[in-house]
Amino acid sequence: MRPIVYFILFSVFLFIAGQPPSPAAAANNNTDVLLADIARYDYGQPLAPLIACEQQLHAASPSQRAASEAEMLELLGAPGTTTASQRVFIDWLGAIGSDKCAPALARLAAAPDLTFNVCRALAAIPGTAAEKAVIALLDSPSRPVRLAAINALGQRRAEDAVPALTRFIDGEDTGLANAALESIAAVGTFYAVEALRVYPIPGPHELPRARALLAATANAVNRTPPDQMVAAQIYAGQICNETLRAVETTAGKIEAARALVTLSDRAASDDLLPLLADPNPRLRAAVAGSLAASPQPAAVKMALAHFSRLPTDTQLAMLASITGSRNAAALPIVETALASGISELRTAAIAAAAACGGDSLIPTLVHALGSADKNTALAAQYALQEFSSNNTDALLLARLSCSNETTLRARLLAVLAARQEREVFARAVEWTSSPTAQLRAAAFAAIARLIRPGDLVIVLPLASNIESATDRREWTQALFAAVASESDAATAAKLLAGRLSDRGTPERAAIIGALTVISAPAATDTLKSMLSSPDATVRKETIRALSAARTPDAYGLLLKTATTAPAPSEQVLALIGAIATLEKLTMPSAAKVAEYRKTWDLATRSEERQTIVAAVRKIRHRTASAFLKEIAPE
């Protein structure tokens, strides 16, 4: 818990330090929280006094801060000052302290409970005194102090500390050596780069040394003024090339190759070409991916020039890198891959095209959409559904209008419906009467995805166009979607009832099912009339639809039908549906048990009774326990 409290306090201070003081805070300086009171703070106590004091420090004038700095230094060594408050004071000194407090803070670094706080505070305090104090801590006999000091110098980006840090690189302590490498890299100047450059890379320390040299080079280039950038990039290319030739492990070569592509002004380095043909697939993939993801035209040009000669696994890695980076500059590579005879490459290229966007690729993707290769067509469909170009819908609609090919029409319908392009709705309605099964099913599916309020009156008559099981499935989805979208439940119920009144309605079961999801008296009345129909088939269809609805209204109708249905088989069917529905309903436990009592009284077969017992056992309530004692005594 202590580290959590500590980080909370420091985070609060950083937040407050970035905010302008409020008039109230400035006015309250006459009633300051005393630092002497903070000295008695310990973990677990209220944070309010600390927050108030931080606000005062933020609102204080330079002279007031100097006085607070002196007082905190005095309190740090005073008897009775808790470790918790020492940490707080040290953190505050890191935020407002000056060179004057650096020596005193450095002396506290030897205390194990304060080492981390001291070094972090010294890392934040500006001035040479603080920097010298941290450098001096590198000679501490305590390893934790040396490690904290190394990290603090990296945080300070202290170039003057580089010589002192380099003496750890060849040391026996690997942890200190790696920390020193990381801190020198963080310094990120060309002086730091040269300091690292003298250390041989091959050997047991290859990867940390190579990473540090490359990271230092990257930081130096990134901090170079624009007017010196060309020279800096040339220098970085030399460093990266040297590192690439020196490293022996795959991981080291990958790091160096990526850095070369990123930092050099000439990404098409001769040193990278052999790596594209390296027998190690991991290395090939990393180099190819770095080239393809690079924003530098030279890198992309190099990748394109060699793409067709690369092994398939490397080509796939290049396309995956383009997809991940969304590098539009690499679209020529994508276009080359789209024309490949290898299905896997085309699929990967389609994904890359979708990630990069660009109107120019839409015709190519539409062509792929009509492919006889199912994987290619499916990839193109997903890509076009997610395509981010502003003109995508207009271009797809235009292509749909001029296409006479059934498969492409059906797939374009699916894409436009997935994109919620409502303009295609009327055409989908028209094509539900198509003599072609593929186009007809696609039209029904598109309608289901594009439903809007008021479409029920359009969907119902389309039942006459159903010619296959696929048509029926898609039309049923459209029907339920249309019912769910209707704002006026009574109107929806009236429309469905009117359709049921037509003799020989072929989709009666689906319409009855749609009625069960409408919560309106008109829907209930229609279902009741269906349950009392002289046609046994109609009654059973209605019972089955109610059983599938799993709604309270459906449960009530099923329970009643279990006693009023004219045939025993229908009563059993209704009771089975009622029991199944009751288990899915959400209601208070006692109320549910009471409903199970009703179903128990109607159950005459062992199957239904066993189902009720199993359901009641799942209810954790005293009424359920009492009921079980009656119906299933042990």
| Choice among 135-139, 315-319, 382-386, 407-411 with the minimum mean pLDDT | 382-386
Instruction: Give the three-class secondary structure for 468.
Output: coil
10 Å Cβ neighbour count for 163? Answer: 11
Read off the pLDDT of each residue in 99-128 and give the average, rounded to a whole number. Answer: 94
Does residue 4 carry a pLDDT above 50? no
What is the reported pLDDT for 277?
86
Give me the mean pLDDT over the 218-241 stretch.
Answer: 91
- 358: phi then psi, degrees, rounded to nearest 5: 110, 120
203 Rama class: left (phi>0) / alpha (psi -120 to 50) / beta: left
Q: In this model, does residue 247 exceed pLDDT 70?
A: yes
Read off the DSSP letter of residue 453: T
Q: 349-364 as b/e, with b when 16 or more CB fall inside 10 Å?
A: bbbbbbbbbeeebbeb
Calculate mean pLDDT across residues 365-370: 90
Q: What is the CATH classification number for the domain harbouring 289?
A: 1.25.10.10
Threshold 0.75, pTM exceeds: no
| pLDDT value at 396 more than 60 | yes
pLDDT band at 299 (very low <50, low <70, confident <90, very high): confident
Answer yes or no: is 346 within a domain: yes
CA pair distance 113, 88, nearest whole angstrom: 12
6 domain-assigned: no
In a domain? residue 369: yes
CA neighbor of 299 nearest in space, from 332, 266, 344: 266
Residue 442 has pLDDT above 50, yes or no: yes
* 376 within a domain of the structure (yes/no): yes
pLDDT over 60 at 26, yes or no: no
The C-alpha atoms of residue 203 and residue 303 are separated, in whole angstroms, by 31
pLDDT at 505: 67
Q: How would DSSP label each residue in 232-292?
A: HHHHHHHHHHHHHHH--SHHHHHHHHHHHHHH-S--S-TTTHHHHT-S-HHHHHHHHHHHH
CB atoms within 10 A of CB 25: 16
Decide which of 563 and 549 is more confident: 563
Mean residue pLDDT across the chain:
89
Sign of CA dihedral 239, 240, 245, 248: positive
Q: How far apart are CA 310 and CA 287, in angstroms?
A: 12
Q: What confidence score (pLDDT) does residue 164 get? A: 95
Q: What is the pLDDT of residue 508?
A: 83
Q: Is position 327 within any domain?
A: yes
Residue 503: its pLDDT value, please? 57
**CA distance readout (Å), 562 to 116, 226, 388, 508:** 76, 85, 55, 22
The pLDDT of 54-83, averaged and rounded, is 91
Integer angstrom CA distances of residue 557 from 491, 515, 537:
21, 13, 17
Range(s) of the domain holding residue 310: 267-384
Residue 271 located in a structural domain: yes
Q: What pLDDT, on a 0 to 100 scale, did the predictor assign at position 354? A: 85
* Contact call for residues 536 and 570 (beta carbons, < 8 A): yes
Q: How many CB atoms lie within 10 A of CB 463?
A: 21
**Of 15-24, 79-88, 115-124, 332-341, which range is least confident?**
15-24
For residue 85, pLDDT beyond 80: yes
Q: What confidence tens digit (pLDDT) does each residue in 475-488 have?
A: 999 999 999 999 89
User: Has residue 341 been placed in a domain?
Assistant: yes
Residue 13 pLDDT exceeds 50? no
- Position 470 in a domain: no
One-character DSSP codes across 20-51: PPPHHHHHGGGGPPPHHHHTT--TTS-SHHHH
Phi, psi (degrees; rounded to nearest 5) at 81 = -70, 125
CA–CA dist 484, 517 (Å, integer): 8
CA dihedral 66, 70, 76, 82 (to 10 degrees): -60
Provide the phi-psi class of 127: left if phi over 0, else alpha when psi is between -120 and 50, else beta: left
Q: Cα–Cα distances in Å, from 159 out to 192, 285, 404?
A: 7, 37, 71
Domain count within the chain: 1
- Residues 444-497 have pLDDT tens digits of 999 999 999 999 999 999 999 999 999 999 999 999 999 999 989 999 999 998
Average pLDDT over residues 82-100: 93
Chain-centroid distance of CA 620 in Å reads 38
Mean pLDDT of the region 555-575: 94
Residue 549 has pLDDT above 70, yes or no: yes
Percentage of residues in the chain with pLDDT exceeding 90? 66
Chain segment 503-512, per-residue pLDDT in tens: 566 788 888 8
